[in-house]
């Protein structure tokens, strides 16, 4: 959805709630340093405040008619649309193998870590792998480290038979697109949602 701001400015966010659970719209918002809109969200927004938005837009949704196993990669708050698609798949009993990789910097960035861990316990066809690129000394982390797309390639060196869904920051998306193509992924089976920062005419990020 796009939030409509003054001065013809817009801010885009991906929905985190599945289509069957749409009484409320769920968004995952990370505060951007000096961000005009995210600063307002975290520091000024009050209950019952009015916000204008349009949508939904985009083409990042689960292709239910495909028979291929699924790899999903989320970077940071790129977990939001992945969460929506996974909850949709579980609700409708889609039992294709799904492996979700969540790439973040440090352990505290796994802001809903209990949720995919619970899904992995409840659904035999679902696997979850968190990957930290910059674990902190106090994280006590024994899991995967490095770039999340490289962890995917280590586990799946031949991607020719998979559907791949990615959402997150543009550098992650671009690096993964290049690497996955080398490892056999058909571009027609790659779906992605790139979380670009909006920049206003006065070059103020949010």
- Split at pLDDT 50, 70, 90, the class of 195 is confident
Q: Tell me what pLDDT residue 72 has.
A: 98
Q: Does the pLDDT of residue 206 top 80, yes or no? A: no
Q: What is the mean pLDDT of residues 137-156?
A: 96
Query: What is the percent of the chain where pLDDT is above 90?
Result: 78
Whether 56 shows a pLDDT value over 90: the answer reads: no
Residue 100 in tokens: 């979700």
- Domains of the chain, earliest start first: 2-54 (no CATH), 70-194 (3.40.50.80)
What residues have CB less than 8 Å from 35, skipping those under 6 apart? Answer: 204, 205, 206
**pLDDT digits over 68-102, tens only?**
999 999 999 999 999 999 999 999 999 999 999 99
Q: Look up the pTM and report it.
A: 0.90
pLDDT range class, residue 199, cuts 50, 70, 90: low
Q: Residue 33: its pLDDT value, please?
A: 84
User: 59 or 184, which is more confident?
Assistant: 184
Q: What is the pLDDT of residue 86?
A: 98
pLDDT exceeds cutoff 90 at 202: no
Q: Using CA atoms, how far apart are residues 54 and 132, in angstroms rounded to an integer?
A: 34
12-28, pLDDT tens digit by residue?
899 999 999 989 999 99
Strands 163-168 and 52-54: unpaired
The two structure tokens encoding residue 88: 């949709």
Look at residue 5 in the predicted model and tell me its pLDDT: 86
Tokens of 179: 């690497």
Taking the C-alpha atoms of residue 206 and residue 204, their distance in angstroms, rounded to an integer, is: 7
pLDDT classification of 194: cutoffs 50, 70, 90 = confident
| Strand-strand pairing, 126-132 and 70-75 | unpaired
What's the whole-number mean pLDDT along residues 35-57? Answer: 89
């Amino acid at each position: 959805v796009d939030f409509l701001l003054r001065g013809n400015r817009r801010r885009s966010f991906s929905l985190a709630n599945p289509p069957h659970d749409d009484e409320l719209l769920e968004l995952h918002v990370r505060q951007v340093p000096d961000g005009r809109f995210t600063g307002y969200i975290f520091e000024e927004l009050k209950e019952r405040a009015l916000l204008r938005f349009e949508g939904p837009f985009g083409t990042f949704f689960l292709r239910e008619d495909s028979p291929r196993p699924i790899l999903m990669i989320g970077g940071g708050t790129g977990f939001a649309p992945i969460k929506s698609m996974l909850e949709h798949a579980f609700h409708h009993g889609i039992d294709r193998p799904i492996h979700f990789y969540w790439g973040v910097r440090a352990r505290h960035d796994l802001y809903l870590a209990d949720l995919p861990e619970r899904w992995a316990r409840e659904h035999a066809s679902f696997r979850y792998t968190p990957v930290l690129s910059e674990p902190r000394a106090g994280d006590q982390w024994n899991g995967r480290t490095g770039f999340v797309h490289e962890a995917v390639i280590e586990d799946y060196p031949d991607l020719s038979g998979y559907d791949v869904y990615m959402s997150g920051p543009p550098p992650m998306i671009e690096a993964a697109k290049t690497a996955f193509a080398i490892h056999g992924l058909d571009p027609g089976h790659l779906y992605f949602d790139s979380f670009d920062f909006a920049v206003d005419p006065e070059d103020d990020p949010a």
